[in-house]
Homo-oligomer: A and B are copies of this chain.
Amino acid sequence: MIIRPAVESDLPALMRLLLADRATLSDELPPDSDCYLHALREMQDSGVSCTYVAVADEAVVGTFMLTFLRHLMRRGSRVAIVEAVRVDSAHRGRGLGTEMMRWAIGESRRRGCSVLQLTSNLARKDAHRFYQRLGFRGTHLGMKLSLS
């Protein structure tokens, strides 16, 4: 398995992975809609966020998004955020998610980040245990305000 930044040709498989997750599905468009292409281009060109894909046997089997933000606190260090973590349901239970997160942790260290953070739906106790095993500690309440 390799992990690399997503490119435009990954988009159909990538969007299928993202849109398969019913917990966050909300009024989305078909995976080949222009809005996703434009968003991917902007993100991958930003230098701030990047969507990565995990590829095995030439198929996209996982994805996650990493963002690196300069903060004032923690001596003006960078903070990394990981989001939109998905593993293809046909490939779960093989340690793929762990491998992806270890890669994300390594990349965050390489970029000099003082902390890697994420939010996970309160109902997903199995996901919380997964992240706890990797060393994450659940210390905050994640709150959202819908603007649409």
Tell me whether A3 is interfacial, beta carbon within 8 Å.
no
In contact, B148 and A114 (Cβ under 8 angstroms):
yes
Chain B residues contacting A76 (CB-CB under 8 Å) are 35-36, 38-40
Chain B residues contacting A144 (CB-CB under 8 Å) are 115-117, 136-137, 139-140
Tell me whether A90 is interfacial, beta carbon within 8 Å.
no
Are A117 and B138 CB-contacts (below 8 A) given A35-B75, A35-B76, A73-B24?
no
How many residues of chain A have a CB within 8 Å of chain B? 65
Tell me whether A134 is interfacial, beta carbon within 8 Å.
yes
Are A142 and B148 CB-contacts (below 8 A) given A36-B72, A46-B48, A76-B35?
no
The listed residue (B26, B38, B77, B142) touching A119 by CB distance below 8 A is B142
User: Would you give the 0/1 interface string for A53-95, flagging 1 where the beta carbon is closer than 8 Å to chain B?
Assistant: 0000000000001010111111111001001100000000000
Closest to A68 in B: B48
Q: How many copies does the complex hold?
A: 2
Chain B residues contacting A145 (CB-CB under 8 Å) are 105, 115-117, 131, 134-137
In contact, A141 and B113 (Cβ under 8 angstroms):
no
In contact, B143 and A136 (Cβ under 8 angstroms):
yes
6 extra interchain contacts, Cβ-Cβ under 8 A, other than A28-B75, A43-B70, A116-B144? A80-B147, A114-B147, A117-B143, A118-B142, A122-B140, A138-B142
Shortest 5 CB-CB distances between A and B: which pairs? A140-B142, A39-B76, A119-B140, A35-B76, A136-B143
